[in-house]
C-alpha cells in the first residue's frame, strides 16, 4: 500500500499519468481470459473501477524501464518491477507505488482524488513497447528502453 507523501504538483500530475483510470465503466475487463477474476469494484465520481486478479506470470512481461516521450518531464525514466505477485511503478525521488490490474494490459493507482490509468502497448509480435498514461483525458506516452 502506498504511503501518502507531499510532492510538487508536476510530480503529482506525472504519478497520476502513470496509473490507470477507468474510461468506460460498463466495459468488461477481458471476457475471453479465464485467468481473470473480477474483485470488488470501486466507485469514484460515478466511474466504476474493477480491480481484477490476474495470473502473476503475466506481470513479468511489463518489467523494465520506460522513458517519457513528453509530458511534464520528458525523458524521465520510470521503472516497472514485479515483487511477489504485484506490479509496481517506481519514479526517481518518489519511491514506488503498487499498480492494481484492471485488465491484463491496464493497471491503475488511486491517490488523493486522482485516478490514474497505465495501459501497456505492444508491437505486432506481442512484445511490450511502452505504455500510455491517462489522467483525466491528458495522455502521456513512454517508450520501453530496457526490458
Domains identified in the chain and CATH numbers: 24-146 (2.40.128)
pLDDT at 142: 96
pLDDT at 50: 80
Q: How confident is the model at residue 38 (pLDDT cuts 50, 70, 90)?
A: very low
- Percent share of the chain, pLDDT over 90: 45
pLDDT at 48: 67
State the pTM of this model: 0.67
In this structure, what C-alpha cell is assigned to residue 8? 510538487
Amino acid at each position: 500500500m502506498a504511503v501518502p507523501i507531499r510532492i510538487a504538483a508536476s510530480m503529482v500530475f506525472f504519478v497520476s499519468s502513470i496509473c490507470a483510470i477507468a474510461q468506460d465503466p460498463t466495459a468488461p475487463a477481458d471476457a475471453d481470459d479465464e485467468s481473470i477474476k473480477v474483485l470488488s469494484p470501486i466507485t469514484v465520481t460515478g466511474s466504476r473501477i474493477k480491480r481484477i486478479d490476474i495470473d502473476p506470470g503475466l506481470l513479468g512481461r511489463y518489467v523494465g524501464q520506460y522513458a517519457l516521450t513528453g509530458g511534464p518531464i520528458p525523458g524521465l525514466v520510470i521503472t516497472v518491477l514485479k515483487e511477489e505477485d504485484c506490479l509496481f511503478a517506481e519514479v526517481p525521488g518518489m519511491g514506488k507505488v503498487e499498480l492494481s490490474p484492471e485488465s491484463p494490459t491496464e493497471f491503475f493507482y488511486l491517490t488523493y482524488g486522482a485516478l490514474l490509468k497505465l495501459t501497456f502497448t505492444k508491437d505486432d509480435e506481442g512484445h511490450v513497447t511502452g505504455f500510455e498514461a491517462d489522467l483525466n483525458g491528458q495522455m502521456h506516452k513512454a517508450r520501453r528502453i530496457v526490458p
